[in-house]
Amino acid sequence: MPGHTVSFPHKLRKRCYCLLCHLPMRDPVKVTTCGHRFCDLCLQEYLSAGVFKCPEDDKPLDYAKIYPDPDVQSEIMNSLIRCKYYKEGCRWVDKLQNLQPHLDACRFDSIQCPNHCTACLSHLSLDDHLEFTCPRRIVICEFCNQEFPADQMELQHAGNCQYEIVWCENKCGAKLERRFLDNHMRNECHKRTITCQYCLREFVHETLQAHLYQCPRFPVLCPNRCDPSKIPREEVDLHVQELCPSATVSCAFKHAGCKHKPIPPTRYCDDATDCGYGKCCVTKDQVRGKRDTTPQGTCQRLGTRGSRCLASYPQPLSSGMYYICPCATGFSCLGTGLYEIPLGEIAVPNWTTIQPHFRDEANFTCICQR
349 compared with 300, residue with greater pLDDT: 300
The domain made up of 266-369 has a fold known as: Lipase, subunit A (2.10.80)
* Confidence check: pLDDT of 153 > 80: yes
317 compared with 257, residue with greater pLDDT: 257
54 compared with 365, residue with greater pLDDT: 54
Q: Which tens digits make up the pLDDT trace of 74-87?
A: 999 999 999 988 88
- Average pLDDT (89-96) is 88
The domain made up of 14-103 has a fold known as: Herpes Virus-1 (3.30.40)
Contact between residue 84 and residue 44 where contact means Cβ atoms under 8 Å apart: no
The segment(s) of the chain belonging to CATH 2.10.80.10 are 266-369
H helices of 69-226, where? 70-77, 99-105, 123-128, 150-152, 181-183, 205-212
Q: Which of 194-198, 232-236, 298-302, 349-353 has the lowest mean pLDDT?
A: 349-353
Strand partners of residue 280: 300
Q: Using alpha carbons only, what angle is made at residue 140 by residues 137 and 141, rounded to the nearest 5 degrees? A: 130
The segment(s) of the chain belonging to CATH 3.30.40.10 are 14-103
* Confidence check: pLDDT of 350 > 50: no
pLDDT attached to residue 117:
86
357 compared with 200, residue with greater pLDDT: 200
Q: Which tens digits make up the pLDDT trace of 60-70?
A: 888 888 899 99
pLDDT attached to residue 131:
86
Q: Which tens digits make up the pLDDT trace of 198-237?
A: 999 999 998 988 999 899 999 888 887 776 567 888 988 8
Q: Which of 111-120, 136-145, 155-164 has the lowest mean pLDDT?
A: 111-120
Tell me the residue type at 119: A
Nearest alpha-carbon partner for 43 in 74, 10, 65, 13? 65
Residue 125: phi and psi, rounded to 5, are -95, 0
For the question of whether the overall pTM of this predicted structure is more than 0.85, the answer is no
pLDDT > 70 in the chain, percent: 79
pLDDT attached to residue 120:
77
SS (H, E, C) 44-96: HHHHCCCCCECCCCCCECCHHHEEECHHHHHHHHCCEEECCCHHHCCCCEEEH
Residue 340 pLDDT level (bands cut at 50, 70, 90): low
pLDDT attached to residue 211:
92
- Average pLDDT (132-142) is 90
Give me the chain's average pLDDT, please: 79
